[in-house]
A and B are shown apart, each in its own frame.
Chain A
Amino acid sequence: MATQILMPALSPTMTEGKLAKWLKGVGDEVKAGDVIAEIETDKATMEVEAVDEGKLARILIDEGTEGVAVNTPIAVLTVNGEDASTAEPPAPKSEPKVAAQGTDPAAIADQAAQGQRKEAVEAAPAPEKDWGPTKPATVREALRDAMALEMRRDGDVFLLGEEVAQYQGAYKISQGLLDEFGPRRIIDTPITEHGFAGLATGAALNGLRPIVEFMTFNFAMQAMDQIINSAAKTLYMSGGQMGCPIVFRGPNGAASRVAAQHSQCYASWYAHVPGLKVVAPWSSADAKGLLRAAIRDPNPVVFLENEILYGQTFECPVDEDFILPIGRAKIERTGSHVTIVAFSIMVGVAMKAAEKLAEQGIEAEVINLRSLRPLDTATIVESVKKTSRLVTVEEGWPFAGIGAEVAMQIVEHAFDWLDAPPVRVHGVDVPLPYAANLEKLALPQPEWVVDAVKKIV
């Protein structure tokens, strides 16, 4: 049977090339792997290897021909002493048929739009469950209790990170856990974020449920490839076969006087990535309820804590089963004049600002996002429809930040209700300085929020 040798594509982008040279002539026997010709592309000269064996019966494209399109027949190969002269070359294979449904841009665009609309028309969520009696607890205790409760519940849950075991946690979040759960489940690692984040990701892909503590998220930059390329994308790349139930947690954002390399908010970095969930608790109840949900979640969850909040005390439900859903914001204070959206430590700043504003007769509604991805757009939209004004507050830098995203969601979904442009309050667009006075000038203060609100109310 005669087979055609086609002009091969030798790179993802090649559409045509020059047939520079024939290295075999008509009548030559060729084996699979023999170099039969050289072709030139815009990038390089490359060799064409035979993939079948047989006799080179005809050359269809002379050497020196430029602009030979990929898939053009360039020669005919015959086998088993077949008569070359009469061997009719088979018709060239047509382009692979494309299922109209698969690549119709209009259909895909329509679907994408539907996805967005779905988010827009989603009703505001039902009121949060009442968990009954509470008692005061620090955020630190809440986080530890959440881990302990989940580790008692599921033997596949374990904690690893720097200083989590014998030292009891660099910030004492894992205090007492080594005693209760032992060194197999509370694991001290060397200072190798990239390596242990990858190790934990592998364990999660194989069905365990690791909690990875980063001493701070600043150091997680060393591990980011594993968080994004491995943990977040494997489910999609495996066609849904391999989930990655893992929590990456630790303090995020500025602490106090630790300067630029230890004081960055990574919220918008992680919230950018499909395949991750991103949570940023403020209160003890947030911390406990959301961390339990994060540990049970079948997906990778980035859990952004805040060092300054660790020692703060809030009322926290005592119910053994207390848990909060990821993806639901909380209205911390109701008001009708302006919506202030904040997350993590900035919720406290927003609350202080709201008190000051109330003294001046301005009633602010404060929304604690709690979850950044998925973002509870419905709750923000409902609020802005009531107040017609939006101020966002975040510690991080403004460019492509969470505030920018929230403002855009409102422009998309509640534009007609706005009475003023949204305003962002954010960390100053510089690396965080060390000097006490400069540091204070760089991070949002309640007064900044008050001023922002007064610009639009």
Chain B
Amino acid sequence: MAQAAETRKRGKTKQPPADRDLLLKAYRSMLLIRRFEEKAGQLYGMGLIGGFCHLYIGQEAVVVGIQLALTDGDEVITSYRDHGHMLATGMEARGVMAELTGRSGGYSRGKGGSMHMFSKEQKFFGGHGIVGAQVSIGTGLAFSNWYRGSDRVSVTYFGEGASNQGQVFESFNLAALMKLPVVYVIENNKYGMGTSVERASASHDLSKNGSPWGIPGKQVDGMDVLAVQAAAEEAVAACRAGKGPYLLEVKTYRYRGHSMSDPAKYRTREEVQMMRSQNDCIENARRKLESLDVDEKAIKAIDDEVKRIIQDAADFAQSSPEPDAAELYTDVLLED
């Protein structure tokens, strides 16, 4: 697995990595996100997390599949449903959970919260609370790669709800004009808050939304992590080769409400139940691992490891002190 990762890092043509190793890696990453989000929901219920909290449960294969195609230094930016993206880019569960509880050990030292977290180190640029705003910022991240002549790629995630925002189309135009290395990922989870995509978008194939600007697009099954990974490899390679932006519409589903306070009356319980029981991305991966003769103990070991990480994160998020009162005034402006 390490060797496979090493080959990928160098970005050379390579043997297709053993599905098995890749899948085990993906399984662990998806499970980590799932368990993290379940714990976050629990802590929210206990009143330890405040404000808005948008859970990623159901969509894990999207960010995990894409991330498998990236190398160190590629930038990632997304909306407010961001906990999964942070974990996938390698940010620590402790720091993310402690930010959710508003503690000094959080990535933003408690000043950002669920929707506003960043990591310069992991090239994660947020965490944006304004629907669609991250799309033009993500295009700017790609611009900086273009300006510097680096081969880094910016992966810019947004929901199908945000895909109707004016600045998304402005960004498509700018990126296509300048041939910027940006992979736009529409996470189509079917509902923008409570409005279904059919009721919000006259475009029925969002992967074609960039076609007026000549942006190639592809629809991907977001419940199959390896399908996402394969599509992402292609998109990222095109960007790195200087061909300009690429658009992926990943079909996915969120099991939980838009945020915690969503009574979810816009869809039936049966619909949710059907998605969960018949096409869950983690269950899909687990079944496939079994079919590849992966030792059950290896899967159990991952389950146990993830459980430990999440428990540790939850403990840390409750024991880390609140930010000092003096923090109120810091980080407004940088000194010259």
Q: How far is the CA of A31 from the CA of B322 in the complex (A)?
A: 33
Q: How far is the CA of A195 from the CA of B122 in the complex (A)?
A: 25
List B contacts of A104 (CB < 8 A): 325
List A contacts of B140 (CB < 8 A): 198-206
Closest chain B residue to A233, Cβ basis: B116
Cβ of A414 within 8 Å of any chain B Cβ, yes or no, is: no
Please, what's the 1-or-0 string for A294-320, where 1 marks a CB less than 8 Å from any CB in chain B?
001111000000000000000000000
List B contacts of A242 (CB < 8 A): 118, 120, 125
List B contacts of A90 (CB < 8 A): none
Partner of A44, one of B106, B128, B263, B318: B263
Q: How far is the CA of A33 from the CA of B276 in the complex (A)?
A: 10
Complex contact B318–A202 (CB within 8 A): no
B185 → chain A closest CB, angstroms: 16
Complex contact A108–B147 (CB within 8 A): no
Complex contact A12–B50 (CB within 8 A): yes
List A contacts of B325 (CB < 8 A): 101-104, 107-108, 111
A423 → chain B closest CB, angstroms: 32
Complex contact A229–B141 (CB within 8 A): no
Cβ of A281 within 8 Å of any chain B Cβ, yes or no, is: no
A40 → chain B closest CB, angstroms: 10
Cβ of A190 within 8 Å of any chain B Cβ, yes or no, is: yes
B165 → chain A closest CB, angstroms: 9
Complex contact B42–A102 (CB within 8 A): no
Cβ of B219 within 8 Å of any chain A Cβ, yes or no, is: no
Complex contact B322–A201 (CB within 8 A): no
Q: How far is the CA of A298 from the CA of B335 in the complex (A)?
A: 7
Cβ of B48 within 8 Å of any chain A Cβ, yes or no, is: yes
Complex contact A201–B137 (CB within 8 A): yes
Please, what's the 1-or-0 string for A5-46, where 1 marks a CB less than 8 Å from any CB in chain B?
010111110100000000000000000110100000001111
Please, what's the 1-or-0 string for B88-130, where 1 marks a CB less than 8 Å from any CB in chain A?
0000000000000100001111111000111110000111111
Cβ of A51 within 8 Å of any chain B Cβ, yes or no, is: yes
List A contacts of B321 (CB < 8 A): 99, 102
Cβ of A65 within 8 Å of any chain B Cβ, yes or no, is: no
Partner of A240, one of B129, B262, B264, B330: B330
Complex contact B50–A202 (CB within 8 A): no
List A contacts of B46 (CB < 8 A): 6, 8-9, 71, 93
Please, what's the 1-or-0 string for A29-72, where 1 marks a CB less than 8 Å from any CB in chain B?
00011010000000111110101000000000000000000110
Complex contact B133–A225 (CB within 8 A): yes
- Number of B residues near A (Cβ < 8 Å) is 78
Cβ of A189 within 8 Å of any chain B Cβ, yes or no, is: yes
Closest chain B residue to A14, Cβ basis: B261
Q: How far is the CA of A92 from the CA of B33 in the complex (A)?
A: 27
Cβ of A275 within 8 Å of any chain B Cβ, yes or no, is: yes
- Most chain B Cβ neighbours within 10 Å, of A8, A99, A207, A234: A234
Q: B39-81: which have CB < 8 Å to A?
A: 39, 41-42, 44-48, 50-52, 75, 77
List B contacts of A11 (CB < 8 A): 260-261
Partner of A206, one of B75, B117, B330: B75
A299 → chain B closest CB, angstroms: 5
Complex contact B139–A10 (CB within 8 A): no
Please, what's the 1-or-0 string for B297-336, where 1 marks a CB less than 8 Å from any CB in chain A?
0000000000000000000001001111110111111111
Complex contact A46–B263 (CB within 8 A): yes
Cβ of B151 within 8 Å of any chain A Cβ, yes or no, is: no
Cβ of A168 within 8 Å of any chain B Cβ, yes or no, is: no
Closest chain B residue to A6, Cβ basis: B46
A212 → chain B closest CB, angstroms: 11
Cβ of B164 within 8 Å of any chain A Cβ, yes or no, is: no
Cβ of A422 within 8 Å of any chain B Cβ, yes or no, is: no
A338 → chain B closest CB, angstroms: 33
Cβ of B38 within 8 Å of any chain A Cβ, yes or no, is: yes
Q: How far is the CA of A240 from the CA of B120 in the complex (A)?
A: 10
- Most chain A Cβ neighbours within 10 Å, of B107, B112, B325: B325
Complex contact A198–B136 (CB within 8 A): yes
Instruction: List 13 other contacts, CB 8 Å, given A43-B261, A43-B263, A230-B137.
Output: A8-B46, A11-B260, A95-B47, A99-B322, A108-B325, A190-B170, A194-B170, A198-B171, A202-B140, A226-B133, A235-B332, A238-B112, A241-B108
Q: List 12 A-B contacts (CB under 8 A).
A: A96-B101, A108-B328, A198-B171, A203-B144, A205-B125, A236-B331, A236-B332, A237-B112, A238-B108, A238-B331, A239-B110, A298-B336
3 tightest A-B contacts by CB?
A202-B140, A198-B136, A195-B170
